[in-house]
Amino acid sequence: MDLFIINFLDGLIYGLLLFMLSSGLTLIFSMMGVLNLAHSAFFMLGAYFAYQISLYLGFWVGLLVAPPIVTVLGALVERYGLRQVHQYGHVPELIFTFGLYFVIEELVQYIWGKNFVEYRAPESLDFVAFTLAGGSIQAYKVFMLLCSVAIFLGLYYVLARTRVGMIIQASLSYPKTVESLGHNVPLVFMGVFGVGTGLAGIAGVIAGPTLQTYPGMAFALGSIVFVCVVVGGLGSLFGAFVASLIIGWMKTFAAAYNVGAAEILIYFGFEYPDNVYYHPWRDLWTLTLPQIGPLLPYLLLVLILIFRPYGLFGRRDA
Amino acid sequence: MKLFKKFASFVLASGVFFSSSTFADTVKIAFIEPLSGPYAASGSQGLAQFKFVAEDQINKKGGVLGGKNFEIIGFDNKLSAKEAVIQVEVAIDQGIRFIAQGNSSGIANAITDHVKKHNKRNPDKRVLFINYSAVDPALTNDKCNFWHFRFDANADNKMDAITDVIAGQPDIKKMYLIGQDYSFGKAVAAAAEKYLAEKTSVEIVGNELHPISKVQDFTPYARKIMASGADAVITGNWGADMLNLGKSLTEAGYKGPIYCYYCFGVGITSVFGEKGVGMLKAVGEGFHNPAPSDEFRQFHKRFKAKYPDNDFDQPRVINALSMLALAIDKAGTADDVVAVAKALEGMTFDSKLLNTKVYMRPQDHQAIQNLHIGDHSADVEFDMDNSGYGMKIFKTVEMASMDSPTTCKMKRP
């Protein structure tokens, strides 16, 4: 049971990290109708900026300064890149962000090299917060958890309870009307894109020390974030939250329990072959849950697209 | 007009002169590794070492065949077997006779198959495969062929050395095996099972493979390892999979040793820093603490002057290129690779630089050499990642696995 609780916590931390990434992505999608394929590249930029700043001024300054830099970069990309491409339709926008991903990845390799960089959690959080079932949870992980919860609550508050949020939501559905009421809709778009990439930046700053900072980090998380967004329902913040947690737990529990296909097959009355290594079904008999764990989110994605194409919490017309 | 003719003939002559000189005076070696994308670190580090060794150890000493230089040409395989085979074809097209590769046994398997087929079909354009790093035992056993030479110790040889050390540690009673789910990870697990059963009474409490480079968060694996009560872990993981596994284990409170194949360099040493001390124990042919020779100190200084950000962590590159050079000289040709391969088989290379012997076993083309177990330590002369930490040798197995059996039945041309 203790092991279950500790895995539950690990899955929660990982899921919330995914949420930090997917929240920005889903926000941008709901606003502009475009999947930002470069989203995970901004995540990586956040980590590298924070690393560079932490070398001189420490982790905390990096945490405060790096996300605004990423936000400004994101806003500039929207203003001088996406907005120009927008008039040609969604496909060119998609291709633009796709290209941007590779440009950023190569730039990062050019500036910081191809190796892992030594971006560490601050020493003040480098201790064991508590121990459960012989496994310890680092204080930094608790800090990660609190940060992501704070971001979720903050975002939810801004979008649902403030005037800014009202204007954003309105420009989502009725941009023409909002514009005629005297609001600067392109500015709102730029702001949302900036904040969305900034959220990816924060995720990078916080995740960098635990998931490691290296040029492959964008690639490693890139596709799973899209799964979160699509499963949750494109454009739904709450959906992204739920889907991220589901996927976080899914991956963690799948890795944690060595349930084998053999046990299931035997349960259904099949007989374990004498020499499994020469059996035609060898791959099936020796399959274990951790081996297919990373595939499960994609399986979920396929099932969702078949049975509920608008996602768990997406609106039918979105 | 006259002037033009003169000029034209000059251009023509110089053109012929230059092109013939580049063709005649270099022995080209194609270096086929990931040079872009997320796995570029290992590829570009290897390329730097190949280029430096070719220049410093071969060309500056007069080259081969009385004055021909080695020329290393990088090809990007993007860590894909399909792309690697295409690049092999491109290299062959450019008249290159020597293919060097080592990152990922999956790719090495594809290349060795391709080279075998190519050499059968094109006896006039045969090539040799210089495998400097891919350690899947199959390459020198079931899948061995005359054209493939391995200069690194294979996964079995390395596990032989690791288990020699574990046998001398009575504290280790429970062992957890974890690796990446592909040919190399499976080979490591199989070798560990075999040698642990032969040499020790260690109980294997976990033996599992995880999908390669698809796991971002290793925490659940670390929890499982802790819960199993393992005293030590053996892993063949490399790159982000190694670093994340190790970091998750330290964060989960694991205190035992991790016996590993690739837990150093490319930033891994620096990220572990103080936390890796007493934990990371790597097997390899190339740890330089204590320094093997004074000559090596000078060599290392020259390397660092040229590549201050890189480590010289694959000294087998020295063995591979030096032995190839000796074989070419002995055969008297760099074009007839059959003669070169025959000269390479059974060669014993006495390296003053590394103060070691390397023997190329003729029956399976597996290099036999000293293997070390190194401790991640700050007490080192040559550090890695410029971090102050490096691998300090604490045990050496001389000419490891010299008499190990092989299933290789080599067909010779």
Task: Assess whether B257 and B336 both reside in one domain.
Answer: no
Across the interface, whether the CB atoms of A290 and B208 are under 8 A apart is answered yes
Across the interface, whether the CB atoms of B220 and A7 are under 8 A apart is answered yes
Across the interface, whether the CB atoms of A115 and B385 are under 8 A apart is answered yes
Across the interface, whether the CB atoms of B223 and A6 are under 8 A apart is answered yes
**Which of B212, B217, B313 is best to mutate for the A interface (most A CBs within 10 A)?**
B217
* Whole-number Å distance between alpha carbons of A293 and A285: 16
Sorting pLDDT into bands at 50, 70 and 90, what band is B6? low
**Which of B225, B231, B271 is best to mutate for the A interface (most A CBs within 10 A)?**
B271
- A15: helix, coil or strand? helix
Q: In A, which residues are within 8 Å of B244 by CB distance?
A: 211-212
* Whole-number Å distance between alpha carbons of A24 and A22: 5
Here the CATH number for the domain that contains residue B145 is 3.40.50.2300
How far does the CA of residue A218 sit from the closest CA of chain B (Å)? 9
Q: Shortest CB distance from B220 goes to which of A10, A133, A224?
A: A10
Task: Assess whether B259 and B206 both reside in one domain.
Answer: yes
Q: Among residues 241-280 of chain A, which lie with CB inside 8 Å of chain B?
A: 251-253, 255-256, 258
| Residue B229, domain member (yes or no) | yes
Q: Among residues 16-35 of chain A, which lie with CB inside 8 Å of chain B?
A: none
| Residue B403, domain member (yes or no) | no
Q: In A, which residues are within 8 Å of B271 by CB distance?
A: 116-118, 120, 212
Task: Assess whether B109 and B17 both reside in one domain.
Answer: yes
| Predicted local distance difference test score (pLDDT) of residue B23 | 47
| Pairing between β-strand B232-235 and β-strand B203-210 as defined by DSSP bridges | unpaired
Task: Assess whether B140 and B14 both reside in one domain.
Answer: yes
| Predicted local distance difference test score (pLDDT) of residue B16 | 43
Q: Among residues 277-306 of chain A, which lie with CB inside 8 Å of chain B?
A: 288, 290-291, 293-295
In sequence order, the 6+-apart residues with CB closer than 8 A to the CB of A111 are A48
| Predicted local distance difference test score (pLDDT) of residue B21 | 40
Task: Assess whether B301 and B286 both reside in one domain.
Answer: no
Across the interface, whether the CB atoms of A291 and B210 are under 8 A apart is answered yes
How far does the CA of residue B244 sit from the closest CA of chain A (Å)? 7
> Is residue B11 scored above 60 in pLDDT?
no
Sorting pLDDT into bands at 50, 70 and 90, what band is B254? very high
Give the mean model confidence (pLDDT) for residues A73-102.
Answer: 92
Residue-range domains of chain A with CATH? 2-256 (1.10.3470)
Q: In A, which residues are within 8 Å of B39 by CB distance?
A: 216
Sorting pLDDT into bands at 50, 70 and 90, what band is A316? low
**pLDDT: is B206 or B11 the higher one?**
B206
Name which of A216, A203, A226 is nearest A25 in CA terms: A226
> Is residue B413 scored above 70 in pLDDT?
yes
Q: Among residues 109-128 of chain A, which lie with CB inside 8 Å of chain B?
A: 109, 113-118, 120, 128
| Predicted local distance difference test score (pLDDT) of residue B12 | 47
| Residue B413, domain member (yes or no) | no
Q: In B, which residues are within 8 Å of A11 by CB distance?
A: 220
pTM over 0.90: no
| Predicted local distance difference test score (pLDDT) of residue A285 | 79
Tell me whether A136 touches chain B (CB under 8 Å). Answer: yes
Task: Assess whether B304 and B278 both reside in one domain.
Answer: no
> Is residue A310 scored above 50 in pLDDT?
yes
SS3 sequence, chain B?
CHHHHHHHHHHHHHHHHHHHHHHHHEEEEEEEECCCCCCHHHHHHHHHHHHHHHHHHHHHHCCECCCEEEEEEEEECCCCHHHHHHHHHHHHHCCCCEEEECCCHHHHHHHHHHHHHHHHHCHHHCCEEEECCCCCHHHHCCCCCCCEEECCCCHHHHHHHHHHHHHCCCCCCEEEEEEECCHHHHHHHHHHHHHHHHHCCCEEEEEEEECCCCCCCCHHHHHHHHHCCCCEEEECCCHHHHHHHHHHHHHCCCCCCEEECCCCCCCHHHHHHHHHCCCEEEEECCCCECCCCHHHHHHHHHHHHHCCCCCCCCCHHHHHHHHHHHHHHHHCCCCCHHHHHHHHCCCEEEECCCCEEEEEECCCCEEECCEEEEEEECCCCCCCCCCCCEEEEEEEECCCCCCCCCCCCCCCC
Task: Assess whether B59 and B119 both reside in one domain.
Answer: yes
User: Which domain covers residue B204, as residue numbers?
Assistant: 156-290+371-397
Percent of chain A having pLDDT more than 90? 52
| Predicted local distance difference test score (pLDDT) of residue A216 | 87
> Is residue B166 scored above 60 in pLDDT?
yes
| Residue B405, domain member (yes or no) | no
How far does the CA of residue B367 sit from the closest CA of chain A (Å)? 29
Q: In A, which residues are within 8 Å of B227 by CB distance?
A: 3, 133-135
Q: Number of A to B CB contacts under 8 A, please give it.
A: 121
| Residue B407, domain member (yes or no) | no
How far does the CA of residue B239 sit from the closest CA of chain A (Å)? 9
Both tokens of residue B270? 């620096």
Across the interface, whether the CB atoms of A288 and B208 are under 8 A apart is answered yes
| Residue B411, domain member (yes or no) | no
Q: Which amino acid is at A69?
A: I
| Residue B68, domain member (yes or no) | yes
Give CA separation, A253 vs A176, A291, A294, B56, B220, in Å: 47, 12, 11, 52, 7
Q: In A, which residues are within 8 Å of B222 by CB distance?
A: 135
Task: Assess whether B330 and B388 both reside in one domain.
Answer: no
Sorting pLDDT into bands at 50, 70 and 90, what band is B265? confident
Mean pLDDT, rounded, of chain A = 89
Least confident of A26-30, A59-63, A296-300, B347-351: A26-30
Sorting pLDDT into bands at 50, 70 and 90, what band is B4? low
Q: Shortest CB distance from A138 goes to which of B251, B267, B387?
A: B251
| Predicted local distance difference test score (pLDDT) of residue B14 | 46
| Residue B404, domain member (yes or no) | no
B364-389 residue pLDDT tens: 999 999 999 999 999 999 999 999 99
Nearest CA in chain B to A223: B214
**Which of A51, A116, A127 is best to mutate for the B interface (most B CBs within 10 A)?**
A116
Task: Assess whether B95 and B106 both reside in one domain.
Answer: yes
Give the range with max mean pLDDT: A133-137, B143-147, B183-187.
B143-147
Nearest CA in chain B to A2: B227
A108-157 residue pLDDT tens: 989 998 888 999 899 898 888 888 777 788 999 999 999 999 988 998 89
User: In chain B, how many domains are there?
Assistant: 2
A266-276 residue pLDDT tens: 888 787 777 76
Both tokens of residue B398? 């001389």
Sorting pLDDT into bands at 50, 70 and 90, what band is A262? confident
Half-sphere exposure of B169 (CA within 13 A, CB side): 18
Give CA separation, B372 vs A7, B283, B284, B399, in Å: 37, 6, 5, 10
> Complex ipTM, two decimals?
0.87
Least confident of A124-128, A229-233, B6-10, B317-321: B6-10
Which residue is it, tokens 């001398």? B168
Both tokens of residue B99? 């293919």
SS3 sequence, A247-299?
HHHHHHHHHHCCCEHHHHHHHCCCCCCCCHHHCCCHHHHCCEHHHHHHHHHHH
In sequence order, the 6+-apart residues with CB closer than 8 A to the CB of A219 are A40, A105, B37, B38
Across the interface, whether the CB atoms of A141 and B270 are under 8 A apart is answered no
Q: In B, which residues are within 8 Å of A142 by CB distance?
A: none
| Predicted local distance difference test score (pLDDT) of residue A31 | 77
| Predicted local distance difference test score (pLDDT) of residue B183 | 84
In sequence order, the 6+-apart residues with CB closer than 8 A to the CB of A106 are B36
Least confident of A176-185, B6-15, B278-287, B307-316: B6-15
Task: Assess whether B81 and B99 both reside in one domain.
Answer: yes
Across the interface, whether the CB atoms of B44 and A133 are under 8 A apart is answered no
Last residue of a domain, one of B351, B368, B385: B368
Give the mean model confidence (pLDDT) for residues A86-92.
Answer: 88
Name which of B183, B185, B150, B158 is nearest B81 in CA terms: B183
Task: Assess whether B274 and B352 both reside in one domain.
Answer: no
Across the interface, whether the CB atoms of A215 and B270 are under 8 A apart is answered no
Name which of A197, A251, A231 is nearest A12 in CA terms: A251
Across the interface, whether the CB atoms of A211 and B216 are under 8 A apart is answered yes
B207-235 residue pLDDT tens: 999 988 888 889 999 999 998 999 999 99
Task: Assess whether B322 and B225 both reside in one domain.
Answer: no
